[in-house]
Structure 1
Amino acid sequence: MFSGLGLGSLSAAASEQIPDQYPQSVLYAKPVEVIPYVWSAIGATAPPGYENSGHNNNLSFIVTGDGVIVVNGGASYQLAKALHEEIKQITDEPVKLVVNENGQGHAMLGNAYWAEQQVPILAHVEAAEEFEDRGPQILSRMQTYNKEKSAGTVLQGPTETFEDEKVIEMGRFTVEVKNLGPAHSPGDIVVWLPDVSLVISGDMAFHERMLPIFDDTDTAGWLESWETFEALQATYVIPGHGHPTNMDQVRRYTKDYLVYLRGLVGKLIEEGGTLEQAYYVDQTPYAHLDTYEQLAKRNAGRVFEQMEFE
């Protein structure tokens, strides 16, 4: 197993207040090598916007020795192109596969660039269906905030799908692309590198920013899927958003947060409380997280609406 780099150098404070860390590129930050051969361009923890060019998730890549595997197509054609330019500075190996972590815009809107390079694009079947269904709205929203930076972006879904697991042997790595069950959004996957005990978790795991709960987020299912995720016993976690970290941190701010919020809302429901009251349950133990102001009340409301019918 690789000795790996200490994560301390990568664990700077979350960066919601910093609009752009890499002004010469549309990428929010220059890629960093998390452990040997595994890189990630860490996105902003703020919501996507013009200043961060929509790069508010992590765009990772694995240099296998026999080609590069990219995790996430990026939120636009321009972001995908910028990431590819960085990859070319790091290695002469061609990009041989792109993996979309789910069906959201920041995972798939850059797919058109990769398809133009004739790179296969892999996603879970539910993520592909989600993007096909909601793609026009996702693209329109990105064009609205990204303005001229959206140039070249057109809808392009994955070219290959899978249901439970896809195992890829490439160069020095075995790469296991896994759907662990219902979680943050339809078709969530993780990319597990068992030889080096590193997982690229996608939106299965959060820690520097508050996790968002959408209408189609299954919080009860997420807690069940979490047990399978934790059973990987990963040493290194590259989350969907925020700096590389470890399992203890993402457990604290993902599983523990979900358990905490569901506990508060469940008690409120038992006492005959209302949706309006749910917005004001006490989430202050998590108030230090980025996007807390935007998401806390919304999360509580959606959990209330879900738990009413559980």
Structure 2
Amino acid sequence: MKMIGQRILLCTAFALGLWACMGCAQADEAVYEPRPEQVTGPVYAIVGPMGQRNQTNAGLNANYGFVVTPQGVILIDSGASAHSAAMLEKAIAQVTSQPVRWVLNTGSQDHRWLGNAYFAAKGAQVHALAATVQTQKVFGEQQILGLSRVVGDQMKGTQVQYASVVHPATQASLTLGGVQLQWIQTNAHYPGDTMIHVPAYDVVLTGDLVYVDRLLGVLPQSNVRQASQAFERLRTLAPRHVVPGHGRVTDMAQAQKETGDYYRFLITQVGSAARTMEPMGETLDAHAAPAQFKHLQNFDELHRANMNRVFLDFEANP
């Protein structure tokens, strides 16, 4: 865990610097207002912008979800700050007057859990799997400091608060107001990442396992092998509706084409080359422009770095 923590801290520092730079470049864009989108039945998504974190989007550059039940609202991920948590609460109020009863953290990136304290102060129970909390504890305070440099005063009043209800296993089943959720660990983008299945409504909220419309990022702490295995688990669930971590609400066909196939590409093309000790530079050059992924947003910025990290991982851990 110490090595993982060091890698996460280094990556966080780098990413926060990148967000700060990108935030300056996007200073003139329109202010983002979260809006609910009905997925099906009582399940809603709040689809965030796909650009970098900045003041205009209050760090909400990800997707969120909520389920309205007779006993209150289940919110999937709490936002990047107390300020952005209030924005999510306002969006929920467009659909229901029910309070947020439960908050579920699907992962450890700042915009998935730093709004926990806001909702807890209003009486919500915050839930997470144990591995998610373990990762959050590595760098929560640093995330607040780093995001303060990106969104400024929007971080005022934000406090690190971990889940009050921690589920010890890699899977959990929860029910509120007659709505059952299946919670499944993926370990995809960050250690302890998860996805949430709402079987009665044929929906999976994937957290950062699935990206559509933009290329997924492979960070130093990401695990493409575990992510690919988790994607196969998602395939067995065969949901009709997919709420990805980033991008539009979609279906399994798009999720497969733009995420599942990319995981397999990285493993079978780049990872396999590393295993057979082919030259790294030649491998990256040979796979620099795969036609099936070039259309995705952020491809030019992320693809080569993704391949680089996967090659080094498979070289060290064949």
Give the TM-score band, short-chain normalised.
0.7 to 0.9
Q: Find the aligned partners of 1:215 and 1:183 in 2 and give their Cα distance.
A: 11
Aligned to 1:85: 90
1:103 to 97, 104, 108: 108
Determine if the alignment matches structure 1 residue 122 to structure 2 residue 120: no
> CA separation in 2, counterparts of 1:231 and 1:268?
29
Pair 1:234–1:129, CA change in 2 (3 A): same
Match of 2:14 in 1: none
The answer to whether residue 200 in structure 2 is matched with residue 200 in structure 1 is: no
Deviation, 1:198, is 0.7
The residue number in structure 1 matching 2:303 is 296
Q: CA–CA distance in 1 between the matches of 2:265 and 2:183?
A: 29
CA RMSD for the aligned pairs?
2.1
Return the alpha-carbon distance in structure 2 between the equivalents of residues 70 and 86 of structure 1: 11
1:34-73 → structure 2 map (5 Å cutoff): 34-73=39-78
Structure 2 CA distance for partners of 1:267 and 1:94, relative to 1, 3 Å? closer
Asked if the contact 1:122/1:158 (under 8 Å) is kept, the reply is yes
Q: 1:296 to 1:253 in 2, by over 3 A?
A: same
Distance 1:141 1:287 in 2: 31
> Hey, what does 2:137 align to over in structure 1?
132
Partner of 1:282 in structure 2?
288
User: In 2, are the aligned partners of 1:47 and 1:291 still within 8 Å (CA)?
Assistant: no
User: What's the counterpart of residue 253 of structure 2?
Assistant: 248
1:126/1:186 contact within 8 Å kept: yes
CA displacement, residues 181-219 of structure 1 (integer Å, 9 cap, x when unaligned): 432211111111111111111111111111111112111
2:312 matched to 1:305? yes
**1:12-55, Cα deviation, whole Å (9 max, x unpaired):** xxxxx9989974xx54x311112121111111111222232211
Structure 1: distance between partners of 2:296 and 2:102: 33
Work out the CA distance in 2 between the residues paired with 1:146 and 1:70: 23
Does the aligned pair in 1 maintain the 2:243–2:250 contact within 8 Å?
Answer: yes
8 Å CA contact 1:204, 1:240 repeated in 2: yes
Say if 1:20 and 1:289 are closer, same or farther in 2 by CA, change over 3 A: farther
| Shift in Å, 1:81 | 0.8
Q: 1:233 aligns with which of 230, 238, 257?
A: 238
- Deviation, structure 1 residue 145: 0.7
* CA gap 1:158/1:282 in 2 versus in 1, 3 angstroms: same
Cα offset, 1:303, TM superposition: 0.3
146, 150, 155: which one aligns with 1:150:
155
Moved over 6 A (4+): 17-22
CA contact (8 A) 1:45 1:291 kept: no
Structure 1 CA distance for aligned equivalents of residues 312 and 80 of structure 2: 30
Residues in 2 aligned to 1:201 and 1:19: alpha-carbon distance in whole angstroms: 30
Give the TM-score, by structure 1 length. 0.87
One-letter identity of the residue aligned with 1:295? L
- The structure-2 alpha-carbon separation of the partners of 1:266 and 1:131, relative to structure 1 and needing over 3 Å to count, comes to closer
Cα deviation per residue 1:219-244 (whole Å; 9 max; x = unaligned)? 11222222212111100000111111
SS state of the match for residue 231, structure 1?
A: helix
> How many residues are matched?
289
The normalised TM-score by structure 2 is 0.84
Greater share of helix residues, 1 or 2? Answer: 2
Q: Give CA-to-partner distance per residue, 1:126-179, whole Å, 9 cap, x none.
A: 111111111122112211110122222121111121122222222242122222
User: Secondary structure at the residue paired with 1:141?
Assistant: helix
Compute the displacement of 1:86 (Å).
2.3
2:62 counterpart SS class? coil
Q: Could you tell me which runs of 5 or more consecutive residues in structure 1 were left unpaired when the two chains were aligned.
A: 1-16
SS of residue matched to 1:60: strand
> Residues 44 and 56 of structure 1 are in contact (CA less than 8 Å); yes or no, is this contact kept in structure 2?
yes
3-state DSSP of counterpart to 2:83? helix
Tell me which residue corresponds to 2:21: none
Name the CA distance, whole Å, in 1 between partners of 2:259 and 2:143.
Answer: 25
**Matches of 1:72 and 1:247, distance apart in 2:** 22
Partner Cα separation in structure 1 for residue 115 and residue 284 of structure 2 = 35
